[in-house]
Amino acid sequence: MENIHFQERIVRMQEVVFLVGYKPSSIYALISEGKFPKGIKLGKRASGWRLSQINQWMADRLNESNINKTITTRNIK
């Protein structure tokens, strides 16, 4: 089997805010509720997030939204 390598990218809060559209305080609240990926400690005062985890979190939200739309549409008919 061939090894497939990919480069995992670490993103900082500013980019996470841009990607998900939430303010940092909302992101930290979701983390404390266990509803958002935890960051990775990069240094004494620096944290980051795996881009793949942020992308997966966004995909999950989109899937939930599509499921809810399907259920609502079926209930209306």
Q: Write the pLDDT tens digit of every residue in 28-65.
A: 999 999 999 999 999 999 999 999 999 999 999 998 87
Residue type, 8: E
Q: Say if residues 70 and 37 touch (Cβ distance below 8 Å).
A: no
Decide which of 38 and 4 is more confident: 38
Residue 25: both structure tokens together: 């305080």
Span 3-23, average pLDDT: 89
Q: How far apart are alpha carbons 24 and 21 in whole angstroms?
A: 10
Question: For the purposes of burial, counting CB atoms within 10 Å of the CB of 73, is it exposed (0-12), middle (13-18) or buried (19 or more)?
Answer: exposed
Residues in the chain: 77
